[in-house]
């Protein structure tokens, strides 16, 4: 078995149980961005992390494969797996509440940075937001845009978690949030 098949040499690929589409098809764009997010989380997990944060990110990586599977369906109404549901969103909300409750209130914008793991999580957050935008575009092109609501909610909540976690890691490392100042020289 070879890793290369040559079937994509014409710039097209298959959707799950579906037709061949161009590699810039909205389904492929959404799946690719979710895959990129998963790779970012793998990069974060290569850093020293508290065990519970590593375990959380490991679970999220598995959930992102479910998101990708749902997005790879050619028409969600006729075959979406529905692998990401309200339970996953509720779990993310509980984790956001838990970790945000351990942080001082934030009333200003902060700059991404701090520890290396925190900075990488900020990078993952921006990719998550892009994935969400790609899925919103894909949903708008569906006969029923609500069919991808669960995925959109999941990515929206995940990006919130990916904002809280870097703050948490920085706080635990005694690295304060760096507040954005509009009057800083640029």
Q: Global pTM? A: 0.89
**In the prediction, which pLDDT does 186 show?**
58
The pair of three-digit structure tokens given for residue 69, joined into one six-digit string: 């599977």
135: phi then psi, degrees, rounded to nearest 5:
-70, -40
Which of 15-19, 38-42, 68-72, 162-166 bottoms out in mean pLDDT, i.e. has the lowest?
15-19
> Is 89 part of a structural domain of the chain?
yes
pLDDT at 4 over 90: no
Residue 38 lies in a domain: yes
Q: Is residue 36 part of a domain?
A: yes
Give residue-wise pLDDT tens across range 75-98.
Answer: 544 445 577 888 999 999 999 999
Q: What is the mean pLDDT of residues 98-115?
A: 95
What pLDDT is stored for residue 74 in this prediction? 63
- For the domain that residue 119 is a member of, what is the CATH number? 1.20.1200.10
pLDDT band at 62 (very low <50, low <70, confident <90, very high): very high
Mean pLDDT confidence for 154-183: 95
Q: What is the mean pLDDT of the chain?
A: 88
Long-range contacts for 113-116 (Cβ within 8 Å, ≥24 apart)? 113/178, 114/166, 114/169, 114/170, 114/173, 114/175, 114/177, 114/178, 115/169, 115/170, 115/173, 115/175, 116/47
Please give the Cα distance from 161 to 141 (Å, whole number): 28
Q: Is residue 186 part of a domain?
A: no
Q: Decide if 183 is inside a domain.
A: no
pLDDT of 19 strictly over 90: no
User: Does residue 143 lie within any of the structural domains?
Assistant: yes
Residue 175: predicted pLDDT: 96
In a domain, 181, yes or no: no
Q: What is the pLDDT of residue 79?
A: 43
Q: What does the block give as tokens for 38?
A: 């998963």
pLDDT of residue 16: 67
Residue 3 maps to a domain: no
What range does the domain containing 88 cover? 12-104+114-172
The domain tally of the chain equals 1
């Amino acid at each position: 078995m070879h890793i290369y098949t040559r079937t994509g040499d014409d710039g097209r690929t298959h959707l799950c149980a579906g037709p061949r589409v161009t590699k810039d098809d909205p389904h492929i764009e959404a799946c690719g961005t979710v895959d990129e997010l998963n790779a970012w989380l793998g990069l974060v997990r290569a850093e020293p992390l508290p065990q519970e944060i590593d375990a959380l990110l490991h679970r999220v990586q598995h959930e992102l494969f479910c998101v990708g599977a749902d997005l790879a369906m050619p028409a969600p109404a006729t075959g979406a797996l529905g692998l990401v549901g309200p339970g996953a969103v509720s779990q993310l909300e509980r984790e956001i509440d838990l970790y945000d409750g351990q942080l001082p209130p934030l009333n200003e914008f902060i700059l991404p940075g701090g520890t290396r793991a925190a900075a990488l999580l900020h990078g993952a957050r921006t990719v998550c937001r892009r994935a969400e935008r790609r899925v919103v575009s894909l949903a708008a092109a569906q006969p029923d845009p609500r069919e991808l609501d669960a995925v959109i909610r999941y990515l929206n909540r995940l990006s919130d978690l990916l904002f809280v976690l870097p703050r948490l890691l920085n706080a635990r490392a005694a690295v304060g949030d760096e507040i954005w100042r509009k009057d800083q020289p640029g």
